[in-house]
A = this chain, B = another copy of it.
Amino acid sequence: MNMTSSYDKTHALHAAEHVDPARLIGAIDALATIGARSDGGVDRPALSALDIEARRTLIERAQTLGCTVTTDACANLFFRRAGDEDLPPVMTGSHIDTQPTGGRLDGAYGVLAGFECLAALADAGVRTRRPLEVAIWTNEEGSRFQPGAMGSSTFVDPARLDGFRTVRDAAGVTFGATLDAHRTAFPALDTRAPQHAHAFIELHIEQGPLLELADTPLGVVTGIQGVRWHSVRCMGAAAHAGTTPMAVRRDAMTLAVRVRGAIEACALALGGDAARITFGSWNIEPNSINTIPSTVTFTVDFRHPDPAVLARFDAALKNCLAPHGADVRLEPLFEHAPVHFADTAIARVHEACDALGARSQPIVSGAFHDALHLAKVCATAMIFVPSRGGISHNPLEATDDADLVLGTRALAHCLVELCNEAR
């Protein structure tokens, strides 16, 4: 048998055509009942009883689809459809934990689209060279246990797990205790060692407005922008609002407003249209109506896809603050370099969009995703579908059904093509 010809390109389209809209939307609706909020949103904390219940329904579904289900030391779940050859699998998936006031799609869509691909391949009778695996990554949101993306980051760097196990949630429960409870909840699952993957494709809602504004149903995600988080502390002197003349005041908020303006101007000048600069968190002391603010601390969140721009921002930030001497202090909180996805994987996403005759456009992810970590160990890319109004992490989070279906068809096409790669 000629292996090359037996995995020809018609198989990918054939699989995509077998994506069943009603089954996909029904699965999304069903999962959203587990942790449903009265406002239409979902509150399903990582490794909570609700998360365990949701995982149980997906394990049962995977077994009816003939998949083998395994877990690992970080409670990630892997649903594997066998391939014809014993090669590293092609992976997809995302997460099913949510923000406390989360929506129905963030994470869940990528997992359930993966399941829909498993079902569509079965319905289409499509066999693949490589195994296809859907993953559920543990605690992506980071709202119960910090940091986020514990599951995917442990998958690529298992040494991180020891540190994560001692992290506690707001109620004092350790992440380690919830991992043990997960193990107890699913005693039949084999725990596997880290395995090499051939590729990873994550399908996700955009969580921003760009695709909707461009009226484009599919985003070919070329990477994830880099980020710098800083805290800026501006110092003045508390004094009585009624007795202190303007000329002798040292108002920390006046200083903070000036510094904020300088940083913003600098970020926009350096970063152009791709720059994202946000001053989201503020602490004002003593925060009293009739006292001049003595100390104002605010955060800086700067993002850009170009590492050179991020480096120039670091230098410019110091220059912005220098004129204020000891009155302004900068504390770096966090940084992450931009990630550029694998050209080979990006090409497979483009190919899928073209094969479906769907409009698509390249897009850089503004948010972090599990794909950020997978990109370190295998050919990784993402597919975005539009977020209505750009809204996410919100019960109002929504995407048109047609876009959800189209995204899943693109994923199916892409996965079959990758699964049939010989190397």
Spell out A's residues near B (CB within 8 Å): 206-210, 213, 225, 227, 229, 238-248, 251, 253, 257, 260-261, 268, 273, 275-282, 284, 287-293, 299, 301, 303, 333, 365-368, 390-394
* Distance of A390 Cα from B273 Cα, bound (Å): 47
Query: A292 touching B273 by the CB < 8 A rule?
Result: no
Residue from A244, A247, A299, A391 having most chain B Cβ neighbours under 10 A: A244
Residue from A206, A251, A276, A391 having most chain B Cβ neighbours under 10 A: A276
Query: A240 touching B208 by the CB < 8 A rule?
Result: yes
**Of B242, B301, B365, B390, which one neighbours A241 at CB under 8 angstroms?**
B301
Q: For the complex formed by this chain, how many copies does it contain in all? A: 2
* Distance of A248 Cα from B239 Cα, bound (Å): 38
Chain B residues lying within 8 Å of A289, measured Cβ to Cβ, are: 229, 278, 280-281, 299, 301, 333
Chain B residues lying within 8 Å of A248, measured Cβ to Cβ, are: 209, 213, 390
Query: A240 touching B284 by the CB < 8 A rule?
Result: no
Query: B241 touching A278 by the CB < 8 A rule?
Result: yes
Query: A287 touching B280 by the CB < 8 A rule?
Result: yes
* Distance of A303 Cα from B207 Cα, bound (Å): 46
Chain B residues lying within 8 Å of A210, measured Cβ to Cβ, are: 245
* Distance of A316 Cα from B292 Cα, bound (Å): 22
**Closest approach, in angstroms, between the C-beta of A144 and any C-beta of chain B?**
15
Query: B240 touching A366 by the CB < 8 A rule?
Result: yes
**Closest approach, in angstroms, between the C-beta of A287 and any C-beta of chain B?**
5
**Closest approach, in angstroms, between the C-beta of A133 and any C-beta of chain B?**
28
* Distance of A257 Cα from B261 Cα, bound (Å): 9
Chain B residues lying within 8 Å of A241, measured Cβ to Cβ, are: 276, 278, 280, 301, 303, 366
Query: A239 touching B288 by the CB < 8 A rule?
Result: no
Chain B residues lying within 8 Å of A333, measured Cβ to Cβ, are: 289
**Closest approach, in angstroms, between the C-beta of A237 and any C-beta of chain B?**
9
Query: A292 touching B280 by the CB < 8 A rule?
Result: yes
Q: Which 10 A-B pairs have the closest CB atoms?
A: A208-B243, A243-B366, A242-B366, A241-B278, A289-B299, A241-B301, A282-B284, A207-B243, A242-B367, A281-B289
Residue from A206, A246, A299 having most chain B Cβ neighbours under 10 A: A246
Closest to A283 in B: B287
Query: A245 touching B301 by the CB < 8 A rule?
Result: no
Asked if A390 meets B278 with Cβ closer than 8 Å, knowing A209-B245, A289-B299, A366-B244, the reply is: no
- For this complex, 30 residue pairs linking A to B, each with C-beta atoms less than 8 Å apart, are A206-B243, A209-B243, A209-B244, A209-B245, A213-B248, A229-B289, A239-B391, A240-B390, A240-B393, A241-B276, A241-B280, A242-B301, A242-B303, A242-B366, A243-B365, A244-B276, A244-B366, A245-B273, A246-B273, A253-B282, A278-B290, A280-B289, A280-B291, A280-B293, A281-B284, A281-B289, A282-B287, A289-B299, A289-B301, A290-B301
Query: A246 touching B282 by the CB < 8 A rule?
Result: no
* Distance of A239 Cα from B391 Cα, bound (Å): 7
Query: A390 touching B301 by the CB < 8 A rule?
Result: no
Chain B residues lying within 8 Å of A244, measured Cβ to Cβ, are: 208-209, 276, 366, 390
